[in-house]
Amino acid sequence: MEKGVDWALERGFGSAEDRLHIEEEGRIPGADSSKVSEKAMKRGEAQLGTVGSGNHFVEVGYVAEIFDRQAASSMGLAQDQVTVLVHTGSRGLGHQVCDDYLSVMLAASRRHGIELPDKQLCCAPVNSKEGKDYLAAMAAAANFAFVNRQMIMHWTKESFEEVFRVSGRALGLALVYDVCHNIAKVESHEWNGKKMRLCVHRKGATRAFPPGHRDIPEDYRAIGQPVLVPGDMGRCSYVLTGTRQAYEETFGSACHGAGRVMSRHQAKKAAKGRAIEREMEDRGIFVKGASRRTLVEEISEAYKDVDNVVNVLHNAGIGKKVAKLVPIAVIKG
């Protein structure tokens, strides 16, 4: 929680160059594990290195289309290349951190005289004790998430090496980018002509910094930060780059997924009587879920069409399309 991905690297999960392609180099500053409850730690202890349920996944796919050859080349992406996309986070530990601080923030809202239109919007001033404690606990959870994804990536590499009997380096398995989502971060931005330090809250969103920004890995600075937008298990996902316009209009942010159009309950009703695994196989996609329930909740039609979502991002200038990834095999927790 405090050392972030360095903890994983010290134990042989990956190589030092991985750190260079992780947001904040895999360690958000200010993390304080003492602000994380024992209950949260217990939940996380058994889940480190796991994908989890819901919309989390490990997806093997391939590059079906290239839109920006220079950017794709900088990221090591090429036409028809096999890719692995991992979506997961801080698991039960992060969920418990959120739960723990809800009651703290409700009390803080009352104490600081903040009127809430909804209890779920409970909050505290960033510089208050409650605000500082939460940011420290949230950073710890985010660092836990970096480690979680790092371990999953390492074991994925080992699986490829075992099957193909070739080293991961020879196979060209290298980290493109690991990016945070669902997080609040203190950043410098321009607002009304002034440079300010702001707390940017990205929920269902991810960072999309422009070319030249100092927080982007050096080998990506000419193209902008990689932006990963997963779709659904039956269609496709996208890699984009951040833009100057996003930095000016959205505080350097873009969506981090297609977004649902059906609730999980609605998806279950829509999938009733259907053999989802067989449907996917007929489309050339192998799916493995921890349970049938997971698969029916994640049917493609439960999500917006990511093609449309990404075209909006691209045409609005918030992100620039680089590559389209089409799934071959998907593992759902």
- The residues annotated with a catalytic role in the active site are 256
Q: Please answer whether residues 35 and 133 qualify as being in contact, where contact means their C-beta atoms are separated by less than 8 angstroms.
A: yes
> ∠ CA(85), CA(181), CA(244), 5° rounding?
95
Task: List the end-to-end C-alpha distance of the chain, in Å, as a whole number.
Answer: 23
CA torsion sign, 8 to 14 to 20 to 23?
negative
> ∠ CA(284), CA(285), CA(287), 5° rounding?
150
Q: For the residues of 157-174, what is the DSSP string, one character each?
A: HHHHHHHHTS-HHHHT--
Listed residue (77, 94, 195) closest to 140, CA to CA: 94
The torsion angles phi and psi of 240, rounded to 5 degrees, stand at -125, 180
